[in-house]
Chains A and B, each alone.
Chain A
Amino acid sequence: EAQVTQNPRYLITVTGKKLTVTCSQNMNHEYMSWYRQDPGLGLRQIYYSMNVEVTDKGDVPEGYKVSRKEKRNFPLILESPSPNQTSLYFCASRLRPGGLDEQFFGPGTRLTVL
C-alpha cells in the first residue's frame, strides 16, 4: 500500500530533550515536506526537500533540523525542544518537486513539550 508513515504518533517530552520524528514514504517520491498545524494558523511549512541531500527552509524553520540521506526517509529533528513547539506535525511527499500532483500526507505526530 502506498503510504507515508510517521513515528511516533504521540510524544510527550520535556524542554531541551532532543527528539527525532521519523517520516518514510514507499512511493519513490522525490519531494518531501514537513508541516506543523496549530489552531487558527492552518499548516505552515517547516522544511522541504526536493531530492536526496537537497533540503531548504520553509516558513517556520527555527528550532528544527532535517536530513535527507535516503530518498524514502525525511526525519525531523528538534535539538532542544521548547513548549512553543507543541503542535501537530505532518510529513508529506509528492512525486516531483515542481509538480502539481497530489501531496500525500502522513497520519500526523502530536508533540507536547512540557
Chain B
Amino acid sequence: AQSVTQLGSHVSVSEGALVLLRCNYSSSVPPYLFWYVQYPNQGLQLLLKYTTGATLVKGINGFEAEFKKSETSFHLTKPSAHMSDAAEYFCAVSDQTGANNLFFGTGTRLTVIP
C-alpha cells in the first residue's frame, strides 16, 4: 500500500531563507507523487507532481521537488521564502488503482517570519 510521511507539522523560516519541507513515501510500485498547497480558508491547489522521467520537478511559485528513489523521498524546496508562501503544504501519493486516488500526508504548516 502507498503512504506518505511528512516530517514536521510546523516549519518556520525567515523571509528570503531557504524553504525545505520533507516528505517520505512508501510504495510497492514506482510512485506518483504530488505536492499541494492550501492557503488560509481555501481549498488545495497543485504545486507540482512527479510521475516519470526527470527526477527534479519544477512547480508554480518557484517551488521544486526532487524524487530520490534511494531515499524514498520527495522533499519540496524553494530558494527564497516570500511572505505569500505562508500556507499548509501536503504531500500525496497515488494509490495507482484504476481511480488513482490520492493519499495525503498530515501536512506541514509553513510560517514565514518578516
Q: Hey, which bits of chain A sit against chain B, CB under 8 A?
A: 4, 31, 33, 35, 40-45, 48, 50, 56, 58-59, 90, 92, 97-100, 102-108
Given contacts A98-B100, A105-B44, could you give 20 more A-B pairs where the C-beta distance is less than 8 Å? A4-B43, A33-B101, A35-B104, A40-B9, A42-B107, A45-B102, A45-B103, A48-B101, A98-B98, A99-B100, A100-B94, A100-B100, A102-B45, A102-B46, A104-B43, A106-B43, A107-B42, A107-B43, A108-B41, A108-B42
- Total number of B residues with any Cβ neighbor in A under 8 Å: 23
CB of B1, distance to nearest CB on chain A (Å): 11
Report the Cα distance A97→B101, complex, angstroms. 8
Distance in Å: Cβ of B39 to nearest Cβ of chain A:
11
Chain B residues near A44: list those with CB within 8 A.
Answer: 104
Contacts of B98 in A (CB 8 A): 50, 97-98
Q: Is the interface of B mostly helix, strand, loop or mixed?
A: loop
Whether A42 lies near B43 (C-beta < 8 A) is no
Bound: A100/B100 CA distance, A: 7
Interface residues of B in 92-114 (CB under 8 A from A): 94, 98-107
Bound: A80/B49 CA distance, A? 38
Q: Could you say which residues of chain B place their CB within 8 Å of the CB of A31?
A: 99
- Please tell me if the beta carbons of A41 and B106 are within 8 angstroms of each other in the complex: yes
A100 x B32 contact (CB < 8 A)? yes
A sample of 22 inter-chain contacts (CB < 8 A) reads A4-B43, A35-B104, A40-B9, A40-B106, A42-B6, A42-B104, A42-B106, A42-B107, A43-B90, A92-B43, A92-B44, A98-B98, A98-B100, A100-B32, A100-B51, A103-B46, A105-B43, A105-B44, A105-B45, A106-B43, A107-B42, A108-B41
Nearest CB of B to A43, in Å:
4
5 closest A-B pairs (Cβ-Cβ)?
A105-B43, A42-B106, A43-B104, A102-B46, A42-B104
B100: which A residues are within 8 A, CB to CB? 97-100
Chain A residues with Cβ below 8 Å from B51 are 100
Taking CB atoms, residues of chain A closer than 8 Å to B101 are: 33, 45, 48, 58
Q: What separation, in Å, do the CA atoms of A58 and B104 have in the docked complex?
A: 12
